[in-house]
Chains A and B, each alone.
Chain A
Amino acid sequence: MTNPVQALNSARVRGWLYQALFLACTLAVAWYLVSNTLTNLATRGVATGFGFLQREAGFEIGESLLPYSASDTYLTALVVGLLNTLAVSAAGVVLATVLGVLIGIGRLSSNWMVNRFATLYVETVRNVPLLLQLVVWYTILNRLPSPREALEVLPGIFLSNRGMKFPVLVEHAGHGWILLALLAGIAAAIAAVRYGRRHREATGKPFPTLPAVIAALLLPPAAAFITTGAPLAFDVPVLAGFNFEGGGAVTPEFTALLIGLSVYTAGFIAEIVRSGILAVPHGQTEAGLALGLSPGKILRLVILPQALRVIVPPLTSQYLNLTKNSSLAVAIGYPDLVSVSNTSANQTGQVVEAVAMMMVVYLIISLAISGFMNWYNRRVALVTR
């Protein structure tokens, strides 16, 4: 039996006491804030709750991946915004990775000029705020000539202040077959890789995996292409009156956001790739050479697997940053999630709900990306006993 004063000397009892105190304080502050908010909302005559989602939005959205009109609900508008965010983030991640890897390798190049160019790029892009870069890209795209004097950068691809116009394939029944053949080819390629590995592990003899994969990927679609009669008709944009007709288009807002996000994030990815490759000791290359591996095989089998372990975790946070930075779209008028939520909040006065939904959605996206990258990281991680 211990009396209460002695019990206070026990770290466990004091731990419970501190936690109880902490929880009480947190709850008190939360209750204070919530009650204030409710009073304030009541005096402003704003009804709380998510009922507004079912009401008519009444505003147009500049670009949408779904069919959308002003008579649709707020919920549809928010979904359109979310899809726009996801679209620009996905495209940005791919572009930034390609650009970043190229520049990161350029930073390590023994060629003095390539090295200097890559350094100049990284030091410029990383030290200027993304928002400023976005505004600059957007202003440049907006002040391009009008469609009548559009710049034809490549045959059929036109740049004007209405965005970029490009030719698209005319739909044809054969395309489905070609896609199907490609899918079959991918399946065959995966099977070939698996078989090649088993064959090598069982017999010790090399299997021509690369030629097999290339053949599996190219031959079935090519065969389908020829048998369906080579459907290759393009819908080329043509100038008609004040604007273009036909072809596909991306708006200046999307283009500016995509270029800005990719160029900015690529600067960070380049540094990650560079430090990842530098983290592999030179002895590994020498060991590979001593084993008689070719330079290509050393890169593929020795350097990259080890560099990836260093690269993947910080790369994940860059992908997350890119997705979160896509919220800067609101500054240049691209209708992403933040911008649509903002418009909805302004129209309905449901500020708390709109901001809360926006944050929860971003949290879910972040958790999904980091979950996927953690899964990938576990795959490439060093297996230790």
Chain B
Amino acid sequence: MSKHSPADQAPIPTAPVPPAHWAASYEEEPSQASTPPQANGMTALKPFGWAKDNLFNTPLNTALTVACLVLLWLVVPPMANWLLLNASWSGSSEACREAAGACWSVIVVKHRLIFFGTYPYDEQWRPFLACALFVAMLGASGVRAFWRPWLAGAWALTLVGMGVLMWGGVAGLTYVPNDRWGGLPITLMLSVFSIALAFPLSILLALGRQSSLPAIRTFCVGFIEAMRGVPLVSVLFMASVMFPLFLPEGVTVDKLLRALAGMTLFTAAYLAEAVRGGLQAIPKGQYEAADALGLGYWQKTMLIVLPQALRIVIPPIVNQFISAFKDTSLVTIVGLYDLLTAATVATTDPEWRPYFAEVYVFAGLMFWIFCFSMSRYSQWLERLANRYTRR
């Protein structure tokens, strides 16, 4: 932004006008600019003025508007007919074959399968309650006033509660092994756990990457770049087929846990780069001040550097969480039963096979609601963070 120093506003020596007059004419300028009557302010008052300004102001824009209108005309009526007007909302698959539109009854029939997979049907209130608890905690974590130490305790309690609900085996709940889990709980748990576990790991990796010790730095750089250079699918394959080989004979690790380990390592590499961004954004003076106070490395890191760096890193962490949430859908490739797998299984029922589009629209909508609200939240956080830095 250009600043007008006094020297800029001082009259040029050769100019015949005295300083006071110069200043006056300088101030007049904005009002002169707004006087022409054909400025935008006027057309907006006329009928269709807004449309004229925003849709038909140049020949190109007029052509684009007409093209958009044609597109709308071609897309919206058939879509509305299919989605709503001709759709069949309940009843059997025969009723759907009669109707010309979408068959939402498939959702009515299959929604339990899509949400909870192969979890025992009569016990499905448990994953429902667990998911509700989870989403409520997620929402509460978004409120800045709740960013206090007790939130971590609340999360720990929630996770214990979820474990009890999902596994059961205590308090009169029947035991459900986790290979029966499926659908939304798997998607939610994998994404939240992989972020939560990856976060401390990513801080260590980012600090290691900035370290002055060559062995540690090389290791961290190598790990981060290797993980960022390969696709998640290959990491998940590694986790699902190679982890069992890594362990001593007789020790087996659950499929869900293996996928979680793979996702955690992968997410940690990406998060580490976000944390590094935060570390690099801290002025060098802060490090020097800490050194001048005689603080050791860990004191400096924990008391001076990280509290400032992590504040900057919150929006990228939320973005990473959105990616992790979308990426959990890949666990279907290594045979886990997440929301997408459950939706695909729902489309394979011969009776409802023709109505795959409805199932995928529904599953897509679920993902979209979560991701869109989180991305809006991250934008809000970013605006909040930039509130004082914007000029």
Contact = CB atoms under 8 A, between A and B. Distances in A.
A113 B55 contact: yes
Interface of B: 54-55, 57, 61, 64-65, 68-69, 71, 212-216, 219, 226, 228-234, 237-238, 241-242, 244-249, 322, 326-327, 329-330, 332-333, 340, 343-344, 347, 356-357, 360, 363-364, 367-368, 371-372, 375
Contact of A113 (B69, B357, B372): B69
Interface of A: 15, 18-19, 22-23, 26, 33, 36-37, 39-41, 43, 109-114, 117, 123-124, 126-133, 135-136, 139, 143, 320, 324-328, 330-331, 338, 342, 345, 351-352, 355, 358-359, 362-363, 366-367
Contacts of A338: 231, 233-234, 237
Contacts, number: 151
A18 B375 CA distance: 41
18 contacts: A18-B213, A22-B215, A41-B245, A110-B61, A111-B61, A111-B68, A127-B368, A127-B372, A129-B340, A131-B340, A139-B356, A320-B229, A326-B231, A327-B231, A328-B231, A328-B333, A330-B233, A352-B242
Contact of A112 (B55, B241, B332, B372): B55
A131 B245 contact: no
A131 B330 contact: yes
Kindly name the residue among A110, A117, A135, A338 whose own CB sees the greatest number of chain B CB atoms within 10 A. Answer: A135
A268 to B, nearest CB: 11
A136 B333 CA distance: 16
A135 B360 CA distance: 9
B246 A37 contact: yes
A244 B19 CA distance: 86
A100 to B, nearest CB: 18
A358 B371 contact: no
A18 B219 CA distance: 13
B245 A327 contact: no
A36 B248 contact: yes
A265 B245 CA distance: 36
A15 B213 contact: yes
B356 A113 contact: no
Contact of B249 (A15, A40, A366): A40
Given A36-B246, A129-B340, A132-B363, A26 B234 contact: no
Given A22-B219, A359-B230, A363-B229, A129 B360 contact: no
Nearest to B57: A110
A375 B270 CA distance: 23
A359 B242 CA distance: 13
Contacts of A352: 242, 245
Given A128-B367, A136-B364, 13 more contacts: A39-B249, A43-B249, A109-B61, A110-B54, A113-B68, A113-B69, A132-B363, A320-B229, A328-B333, A355-B234, A359-B234, A359-B238, A362-B234
Contacts of B71: 117
